Copies of this chain bind each other. A is one copy, B any other.
Amino acid sequence: MSRMTVIGLEGLGEVRAGDSIGRLIWEAWSRQGESLLEGDIFVVAHKIVSKAEGRLIRLAEINPSARALQIGQDLGKDPVLLEVILRESRRIIRMGRSTIIVETHHGFVCANAGVDLSNVGLGYVALLPQDPDQSASMIREEITRLSGVAPGVIISDSFGRPWRLGTTDIAVGVAGFKPLKDYRGVSDRYGYELKASVAAVADELAGAAELVMGKRGEVPVVLIRGFEVEAGEGSARELLRPEAEDLFRNF
């Protein structure tokens, strides 16, 4: 019988710039008395990775540009926050209704370039890690070194969606497994060959993790056991739809 378990990691403690997230995770996991098995996947909220990598910005130190001031006026948003968002962005995709949707330097399309005010301390914002795939790889390597088992690692963030309310957590960084599961060429029970069936399993795993993490920062890491991963190096870039195949990027 197929069964998948999502286990919250507690007692990680406050993360500070320079900390090794891989070591913190492994130590907290061991204290929890859990084993680590081949195929296990750690999902890590990007916030603690950003903290460890020093990707916090003190808003009082930012001078908004003329462009940020103008957009701030148009949208009714804080120009200082907008300045940080613009610096994290490759381009603006859409603005309106107090919302700014951009493409980040990584290629993610999301609100506010992933710049986030929650769970970082008043007056500060967290940026996404500069290279979340590399962050995931480093966590994977450190845990492998300490435990002898190489888990999959996902760095997650909460993204909104155009036509649906509420955020779902998705993968901004991946290491150690294939983020897309490709069923194309496989036949169903009736002999119909599945043509359009590629599942974004890394995003579904991040979403499953969020259900245990919540939003208050108390459970920033979960372990998922029992999902049949496909081995591979893995990268969150595999989840980015190329612009040429996208119907909602250029207007």
Q: How far is the CA of A201 from the CA of B190 in the complex (A)?
A: 33
Indicate with 1 or 0, residue by residue over A132-174, a CB within 8 angstroms of chain B CB atoms: 0000000000000000000000000010011111111110000
Indicate with 1 or 0, residue by residue over A9-45, a CB within 8 angstroms of chain B CB atoms: 0100000000000000000000010000000000000
Q: How far is the CA of A246 from the CA of B162 in the complex (A)?
A: 6
Q: How far is the CA of A18 from the CA of B173 in the complex (A)?
A: 45
Q: Is the CB of A215 within 8 A of B194?
A: yes
Q: Is the CB of B122 within 8 A of A192?
A: yes
- Give the interface size class of chain A: 35 or more
Q: How far is the CA of A182 from the CA of B29 in the complex (A)?
A: 29
Q: Is the CB of A246 within 8 A of B163?
A: yes
Q: What's the least CB distance linking A246 to chain B, in Å?
A: 6
- A73 within 8 Å of B (CB atoms): no
Chain A interface helix/strand/loop/mixed: loop
Q: What's the least CB distance linking A232 to chain B, in Å?
A: 14
Q: How far is the CA of A118 from the CA of B179 in the complex (A)?
A: 22
Most B CB within 10 A of own CB, among A6, A195, A226: A6
Q: How far is the CA of A15 from the CA of B6 in the complex (A)?
A: 30
Q: Is the CB of B3 within 8 A of A6?
A: yes
Assess A211 versus B122: contact at CB under 8 Å? Given A163-B248, A180-B165, A200-B165: no
- A238 within 8 Å of B (CB atoms): yes
